[in-house]
Amino acid sequence: MTEPLKTTVLISGGGSNLQALIDARDSGRLNVDITHVISNVADAGGLDRAERAGISSSVLPHGDFDSRDAFDRALALLIAASAPDLVVLAGFMRIIGAPVLEPFQGRLINLHPSLLPLYRGTETYRRAIESGDRQHGASIHFVTAQLDGGPVISQVTIPIETQDSPDTLAARLSPEEHALIVATVELFTRHRVECADDVVLVDGLTLVQPLQLQADGRLDP
Protein backbone atom coordinates (compact mmCIF):
# COMPACT_ATOMS: atom_id res chain seq x y z
CA MET A 1 0.00 0.00 0.00
CA THR A 2 1.28 3.47 -0.86
CA GLU A 3 2.02 6.02 1.84
CA PRO A 4 -0.92 8.19 2.89
CA LEU A 5 -1.09 11.54 1.13
CA LYS A 6 0.05 14.19 3.61
CA THR A 7 -2.65 16.84 3.47
CA THR A 8 -3.12 20.25 5.03
CA VAL A 9 -6.60 21.79 5.09
CA LEU A 10 -7.25 25.54 5.29
CA ILE A 11 -10.57 26.71 6.72
CA SER A 12 -12.35 29.85 7.90
CA GLY A 13 -15.66 28.47 9.13
CA GLY A 14 -17.61 25.43 10.25
CA GLY A 15 -15.44 22.88 8.49
CA SER A 16 -18.13 20.61 7.05
CA ASN A 17 -15.93 19.80 4.07
CA LEU A 18 -13.05 19.07 6.43
CA GLN A 19 -15.39 16.68 8.23
CA ALA A 20 -16.20 14.95 4.95
CA LEU A 21 -12.49 14.33 4.42
CA ILE A 22 -12.07 13.07 7.98
CA ASP A 23 -15.02 10.71 7.61
CA ALA A 24 -13.69 9.38 4.29
CA ARG A 25 -10.29 8.84 5.87
CA ASP A 26 -11.81 7.00 8.83
CA SER A 27 -13.96 4.81 6.59
CA GLY A 28 -10.91 3.74 4.60
CA ARG A 29 -11.95 5.41 1.36
CA LEU A 30 -9.22 8.05 1.44
CA ASN A 31 -5.61 7.12 1.99
CA VAL A 32 -4.76 10.49 3.52
CA ASP A 33 -2.93 11.75 6.54
CA ILE A 34 -4.52 15.07 7.45
CA THR A 35 -1.55 16.42 9.32
CA HIS A 36 -2.57 20.04 9.85
CA VAL A 37 -5.66 22.24 9.84
CA ILE A 38 -5.08 25.99 9.61
CA SER A 39 -7.71 28.67 10.19
CA ASN A 40 -7.52 32.43 9.85
CA VAL A 41 -10.49 32.71 12.24
CA ALA A 42 -9.92 31.88 15.89
CA ASP A 43 -13.44 30.61 16.62
CA ALA A 44 -13.95 28.65 13.39
CA GLY A 45 -16.05 25.57 14.09
CA GLY A 46 -13.76 23.45 11.97
CA LEU A 47 -11.07 23.74 14.65
CA ASP A 48 -13.29 21.74 17.00
CA ARG A 49 -13.72 19.09 14.31
CA ALA A 50 -9.94 18.86 13.96
CA GLU A 51 -9.49 18.52 17.71
CA ARG A 52 -12.07 15.74 17.96
CA ALA A 53 -10.30 13.91 15.14
CA GLY A 54 -6.91 14.26 16.78
CA ILE A 55 -5.54 16.53 14.05
CA SER A 56 -3.04 19.27 14.82
CA SER A 57 -4.42 22.75 14.18
CA SER A 58 -3.19 26.33 14.10
CA VAL A 59 -4.84 29.74 14.07
CA LEU A 60 -3.30 32.53 12.02
CA PRO A 61 -5.57 35.59 12.27
CA HIS A 62 -5.13 37.74 9.19
CA GLY A 63 -5.98 40.82 11.24
CA ASP A 64 -2.73 40.45 13.14
CA PHE A 65 -0.73 41.41 10.05
CA ASP A 66 -0.23 44.85 8.56
CA SER A 67 -0.37 43.63 4.96
CA ARG A 68 -1.69 40.77 2.87
CA ASP A 69 1.87 39.90 1.85
CA ALA A 70 2.99 39.58 5.47
CA PHE A 71 0.08 37.27 6.22
CA ASP A 72 0.84 35.16 3.16
CA ARG A 73 4.49 34.80 4.13
CA ALA A 74 3.53 33.62 7.60
CA LEU A 75 0.93 31.27 6.14
CA ALA A 76 3.47 29.77 3.73
CA LEU A 77 5.83 29.01 6.61
CA LEU A 78 3.02 27.47 8.64
CA ILE A 79 1.93 25.25 5.74
CA ALA A 80 5.50 24.20 5.01
CA ALA A 81 6.02 23.08 8.61
CA SER A 82 4.11 19.85 7.95
CA ALA A 83 5.54 19.33 4.44
CA PRO A 84 2.19 18.50 2.79
CA ASP A 85 1.76 16.73 -0.53
CA LEU A 86 -1.58 18.50 -0.99
CA VAL A 87 -3.14 21.68 0.41
CA VAL A 88 -6.93 21.87 0.33
CA LEU A 89 -8.72 25.21 0.67
CA ALA A 90 -12.08 24.17 2.10
CA GLY A 91 -13.99 27.34 2.85
CA PHE A 92 -10.84 29.41 3.36
CA MET A 93 -12.03 32.97 2.85
CA ARG A 94 -8.75 34.65 1.96
CA ILE A 95 -7.15 35.33 -1.39
CA ILE A 96 -3.87 33.42 -1.69
CA GLY A 97 -0.84 35.42 -2.83
CA ALA A 98 2.52 34.65 -4.37
CA PRO A 99 4.33 33.70 -1.13
CA VAL A 100 1.97 30.71 -0.85
CA LEU A 101 1.38 30.06 -4.54
CA GLU A 102 5.01 29.77 -5.54
CA PRO A 103 6.27 27.09 -3.12
CA PHE A 104 3.09 25.02 -3.39
CA GLN A 105 2.33 25.36 -7.08
CA GLY A 106 0.40 22.35 -8.35
CA ARG A 107 -0.39 21.24 -4.80
CA LEU A 108 -3.06 23.82 -3.92
CA ILE A 109 -6.71 23.12 -4.68
CA ASN A 110 -9.83 25.11 -3.80
CA LEU A 111 -13.51 24.28 -3.54
CA HIS A 112 -15.65 27.07 -5.02
CA PRO A 113 -19.47 27.13 -4.94
CA SER A 114 -20.20 27.78 -8.61
CA LEU A 115 -19.83 26.16 -12.00
CA LEU A 116 -16.64 27.94 -12.93
CA PRO A 117 -15.91 30.03 -14.91
CA LEU A 118 -19.31 31.38 -13.85
CA TYR A 119 -19.52 33.51 -10.71
CA ARG A 120 -16.03 33.87 -9.41
CA GLY A 121 -15.85 35.51 -6.01
CA THR A 122 -18.67 35.67 -3.46
CA GLU A 123 -22.48 35.48 -3.32
CA THR A 124 -22.56 32.83 -6.01
CA TYR A 125 -25.97 31.43 -5.01
CA ARG A 126 -27.71 34.80 -5.20
CA ARG A 127 -26.04 35.66 -8.49
CA ALA A 128 -27.05 32.35 -10.09
CA ILE A 129 -30.69 32.74 -8.99
CA GLU A 130 -30.91 36.38 -10.07
CA SER A 131 -29.45 35.48 -13.46
CA GLY A 132 -32.26 32.99 -14.02
CA ASP A 133 -29.93 30.01 -14.25
CA ARG A 134 -31.48 26.58 -14.30
CA GLN A 135 -28.56 24.92 -12.56
CA HIS A 136 -25.82 25.67 -10.10
CA GLY A 137 -23.01 23.67 -8.60
CA ALA A 138 -19.50 23.55 -7.21
CA SER A 139 -16.05 23.29 -8.73
CA ILE A 140 -12.63 22.22 -7.50
CA HIS A 141 -9.73 23.91 -9.20
CA PHE A 142 -6.01 24.37 -8.88
CA VAL A 143 -5.23 27.67 -7.17
CA THR A 144 -3.43 30.29 -9.25
CA ALA A 145 -2.91 34.04 -9.02
CA GLN A 146 -6.25 34.61 -10.78
CA LEU A 147 -9.14 34.64 -8.32
CA ASP A 148 -11.10 31.40 -8.78
CA GLY A 149 -9.50 31.23 -12.22
CA GLY A 150 -7.19 28.24 -11.98
CA PRO A 151 -7.67 25.10 -14.09
CA VAL A 152 -10.84 23.25 -13.04
CA ILE A 153 -10.50 19.60 -12.08
CA SER A 154 -14.03 18.57 -11.19
CA GLN A 155 -17.60 19.78 -10.80
CA VAL A 156 -20.98 18.77 -9.46
CA THR A 157 -24.27 20.18 -10.76
CA ILE A 158 -27.69 20.49 -9.17
CA PRO A 159 -30.91 22.07 -10.53
CA ILE A 160 -32.11 25.44 -9.29
CA GLU A 161 -35.70 25.03 -8.16
CA THR A 162 -38.37 27.68 -8.60
CA GLN A 163 -38.70 28.36 -4.88
CA ASP A 164 -34.96 28.41 -4.16
CA SER A 165 -33.39 31.17 -2.11
CA PRO A 166 -29.62 31.53 -1.73
CA ASP A 167 -29.90 29.73 1.62
CA THR A 168 -31.92 26.77 0.36
CA LEU A 169 -29.71 26.42 -2.71
CA ALA A 170 -26.59 26.45 -0.53
CA ALA A 171 -28.11 23.84 1.79
CA ARG A 172 -28.93 21.49 -1.08
CA LEU A 173 -25.50 21.92 -2.63
CA SER A 174 -23.59 21.31 0.60
CA PRO A 175 -23.74 17.48 0.66
CA GLU A 176 -22.80 17.42 -3.01
CA GLU A 177 -19.76 19.55 -2.21
CA HIS A 178 -18.77 17.03 0.44
CA ALA A 179 -18.95 14.20 -2.08
CA LEU A 180 -17.05 16.25 -4.66
CA ILE A 181 -14.15 17.10 -2.38
CA VAL A 182 -13.78 13.48 -1.27
CA ALA A 183 -13.85 12.15 -4.84
CA THR A 184 -11.35 14.75 -6.01
CA VAL A 185 -8.89 14.22 -3.18
CA GLU A 186 -9.17 10.49 -3.91
CA LEU A 187 -7.70 11.19 -7.36
CA PHE A 188 -4.71 12.79 -5.69
CA THR A 189 -4.25 9.86 -3.31
CA ARG A 190 -4.07 7.60 -6.37
CA HIS A 191 -1.63 10.00 -8.08
CA ARG A 192 -3.96 10.29 -11.06
CA VAL A 193 -4.12 14.08 -11.40
CA GLU A 194 -1.58 16.84 -11.84
CA CYS A 195 -1.30 20.34 -13.25
CA ALA A 196 1.29 21.24 -15.88
CA ASP A 197 1.46 24.67 -17.52
CA ASP A 198 -2.06 25.50 -16.32
CA VAL A 199 -3.43 22.30 -17.87
CA VAL A 200 -5.02 19.51 -15.81
CA LEU A 201 -3.78 16.03 -16.61
CA VAL A 202 -5.69 12.94 -15.50
CA ASP A 203 -3.89 9.64 -15.98
CA GLY A 204 -1.41 11.58 -18.11
CA LEU A 205 -4.05 12.85 -20.54
CA THR A 206 -5.18 16.46 -20.94
CA LEU A 207 -8.53 17.09 -19.31
CA VAL A 208 -10.68 18.91 -21.87
CA GLN A 209 -13.76 19.32 -19.65
CA PRO A 210 -13.97 19.08 -15.85
CA LEU A 211 -14.67 15.65 -14.42
CA GLN A 212 -18.31 15.33 -13.34
CA LEU A 213 -19.46 13.84 -10.05
CA GLN A 214 -21.74 10.86 -10.63
CA ALA A 215 -24.54 9.50 -8.44
CA ASP A 216 -22.22 6.80 -7.09
CA GLY A 217 -19.80 9.43 -5.77
CA ARG A 218 -17.17 8.85 -8.44
CA LEU A 219 -15.79 11.23 -11.04
CA ASP A 220 -16.18 10.64 -14.77
CA PRO A 221 -15.38 12.82 -17.79
The mean pLDDT of 40-50, rounded to a whole number, is: 97
Please report the pLDDT score of residue 30 as a whole number. Answer: 97
The domain at 5-220 falls in which architecture?
3-Layer(aba) Sandwich (3.40)
Residue 36 bears catalytic tag = no
> Is the pLDDT reported for residue 1 higher than 90?
no
pTM of the model: 0.95
Q: Pick from 142, 146, 137: which is nearest to 116 by CA?
A: 137
What are the extents of the domains in the chain?
5-220
Distance CA 114, CA 190 (A): 26
Per-residue pLDDT tens for 153-178? 999 999 999 999 999 999 999 999 99
Q: Measured between alpha carbons, how far is 146 from 148 in angstroms, rounded to an integer?
A: 6
How far from 210 is each of 143, 154, 157, 170, 213, CA to CA, in Å? 15, 5, 12, 21, 10
Q: Which pLDDT value is given to residue 181?
A: 98
Q: What is the pLDDT of residues 120-141, one digit of tens each?
A: 999 999 999 999 999 999 999 9
Reported confidence tier of residue 221, pLDDT bands at 50, 70, 90:
low
Which run of H or of E encompasses 24? Answer: helix 16-27
Among 36, 62, 112, 191, the active-site one is 112
Cα separation of 47 and 96, whole Å?
Answer: 20
